[in-house]
Amino acid sequence: MRFGNLNYFFLLWIIPLLIAFYVYAFRSRDRLTAVFCGKQVLPALLPDRQKGRRGIKAFLILGGIALGICALTRPQWGFHWEDIKRVGVDLMVAIDVSESMLAEDVKPSRLERAKREVYDLIHMMEGDRIGLIAFAGTSFVQCPLTLDYGACKMFLDYIEPDLIPVPGTALADAIRNAIKSFNTQERKSKVLILITDGEDHEGAPLEAAREAKQAGIKIFTIGVGQDGGAPIPLRDGSGGFKKDRRGDMIITHLDEATLQKIALETEGSYVRSVTGDMDLDKIYKVDIKQHIEGKELSSTRQRRWEQRFQWFVCAALLVIAGEFFISERRKSTKPF
């Protein structure tokens, strides 16, 4: 036997309190009745009163309350085995960690906004596997596909620009690395979410997108940044901004056109990152969950316990109902 919620057993402290209340109430009642009627005439005025029945009535009410508390703990005994299948999609998230993602045209920065997007995505996920790829001038798998969302969050915390020493932004390399991360024998339920400002320094992202399409992968892109662009802060904490060889300040821009082409090439979609979850609602809840067929990711047998609280509820109702049929006075057998 086991219980679904042991916390309700603390309510059993009510029983001793009610017992004390009944003892006090019965004694006070007897004392006041004796004072009002007098001890000599009390037996004559109430000849049919029986204190034992009064105690039985109190016992039944207390028993009904105790049974009701036991029902709240959801007692369970007996079980059957149930097959639990987890169905979802394999979802790789590629995050741009290049220096341009330090721009602060979205607060607190493009990179921090991108990481928050992934945090929110993990909270939304419904049984899908997720993996992480970090990329700049090159890319590597930060977290392989997993159902352990806690581990994925831990890896996400370590994503910073210093993670990849190679400067630049290689969108094609990130896409090809994602292709290798999926099961090459399957051609469905594979999604890549690309979170970046879209500036590509290596070239050929559309060619890589075509390779992803041939592998059965749909790419959804999230653009991080604003139309006007922004300077790139220096990482030395000086408060200055990155400049080119001529001394001019470098302005990084959001390249929405490239991101839209990558998404359309694989029949995915593009959204710009916004405050809140509207962008993720569009990509995950609508485009992915409603239009991409899931696959069985894991299967386990789980012991399913039988709920027995209803027996205690019925017993409590019967006991409390029985109290109403017991009178404190015995039926008189004397003729009128």
Domains and CATH numbers, the chain: 2-79+305-324 (no CATH), 90-293 (3.40.50.410)
- Three-state DSSP at 144 gives strand
pLDDT single digits (tens) 8-66: 888 888 888 988 988 888 788 777 766 666 556 555 555 555 566 777 888 888 988 99
Do residues 140 and 134 make contact, with C-beta atoms less than 8 angstroms apart? yes
| Residue-level pLDDT at 335 | 47
| Residue-level pLDDT at 292 | 84
| Stretch 129-150: mean pLDDT | 93
| Residue-level pLDDT at 34 | 66
Separation of alpha carbons 296 and 168, rounded Å: 38
DSSP 38-80: -TTTHHHHSTTB-HHHHHHHHHHHHHHHHHHHHHHT-EEEEEE
pLDDT band at 324 (very low <50, low <70, confident <90, very high): confident
pTM of the full predicted structure? 0.65
As a whole number, the mean pLDDT across the chain is 84
**Token digits of residue 30:** 């007897």
Do residues 168 and 144 make contact, with C-beta atoms less than 8 angstroms apart? no
pLDDT over threshold 70, residue 79: yes
pLDDT single digits (tens) 244-299: 888 889 899 999 999 999 999 999 999 998 877 778 888 998 888 888 877 666 55
pLDDT over threshold 80, residue 172: yes
Residues in the chain, total: 336
Amino acid at 56: I
